[in-house]
Amino acid sequence: MGKVWLVGAGPGDPDLLTVKAVKAIQQADVILYDRLINQEILHYAKPDAELIFVGKLPKHHFVQQDMINYLLVKHAKLGKQVVRLKGGDPFIFGRGGEEAKFAVEHHIPFEVIPGITSGIAAPAYAGIPVTHRDYSASFAIVTGHRKEGVEEEEKWRALAKGIDTLAIYMGVSNLPYIQKQLINHGKDPNTPVAFIHWGTTDTQRTVTATLSTMTEIAKKENVINPSMIVIGEVVRLRDELQWFEESHEGRRLHEAMV
């Protein structure tokens, strides 16, 4: 009997991969990897490892989740060490819980290796601390794929009034709805907002707005996925604390001159 490893690959910067994740990748016979995985991470795989792309685009899945579950169990039953390599953390909007449950149902041993999620890493690289003594004592990770309904109205009310900083995943295509719900449920329209595109990578770009202008500015600045949306007073600290994009821009200019 083999084993399944649910491995978090982190937010994009390959240097943020954990040591334990590297060890799992190095011993894997089979690696099923996502679309947002930094390809440099796959260099840790042994030469004879089978690499299987199971990435997903918004509204288009190259491989359905049922097939991914099947492949994990199939290879493990063949006695192989199987790594499911997932962007960020396996249990944060990564369906890692579903894959772990499927392994249990088929009596396959598994292990979870947490990864650094983009909800904290992208803001950090953009100079935005998600908590701060003067600005934020609470922080929530939220999916942008939300549907209307009575229960959702209650949740939006709690998010608008009860949480200081929101990190919204997969929300770019749903901006008007997010904006409307937060404002209608009491969030200050002047609350600052940041869009962080490809956070922690060399192509990171940050666009700022306010809650009342976020949809308009995102359209004007062509904000697209993958982008982390951060909403809260902590975004005001970016002007003072930003470090990553400036240092990388300086490096690119230097390399271009050389």
Residue of 13, 34, 89, 164 with catalytic role: 34
| Catalytic residue status for 66 | no
Which residue ranges form the domains of the chain, and what is each CATH number? 3-116 (3.40.1010.10), 119-244 (3.30.950.10)
Residue 246 confidence class, pLDDT cut points 50, 70, 90: confident
Question: How do 227-231 and 30-33 pair as beta strands?
Answer: unpaired
pLDDT tens-place string over residues 174-192: 999 999 999 999 999 999 9
- Determine the 3-state secondary structure of 113 from DSSP: strand
Answer yes or no: 214 catalytic: no
Q: What is the distance between the alpha carbons of residues 214 and 176, in angstroms, rounded to a whole number?
A: 9
Task: Read off the pTM.
Answer: 0.91
Strand partners, 107: none
Span 73-86, average pLDDT: 98
Residue 56 has pLDDT above 90, yes or no: no
pLDDT at 232: 98
Categorize the per-residue pLDDT at 15 as very low, low, confident or very high, splitting at 50, 70 and 90: very high
DSSP H helices in the chain:
19-27, 65-77, 96-105, 118-125, 150-162, 175-184, 214-220, 238-241, 244-257
Per the annotation, the verdict on 67 as an active-site residue is no
> Mean of the pLDDT values across residues 55-70?
79
Whether 210 has a pLDDT exceeding 50, the answer reads yes
The model's confidence at residue 62, banded by pLDDT at 50, 70 and 90, is: low
Active-site choice (74, 77, 155, 170): 170
Write out pLDDT tens, residues 106-154. 999 999 999 999 999 999 999 999 999 999 999 999 999 766 666 788 9
Q: What's the CA gap between 101 and 104, in Å, rounded?
A: 5
Q: Work out the pLDDT band at 251, boundaries 50, 70, 90.
A: low
pLDDT band (50, 70, 90) for residue 223: very high
Active-site entry in 20, 23, 56, 155: 56
Q: What is the mean pLDDT of the chain?
A: 93
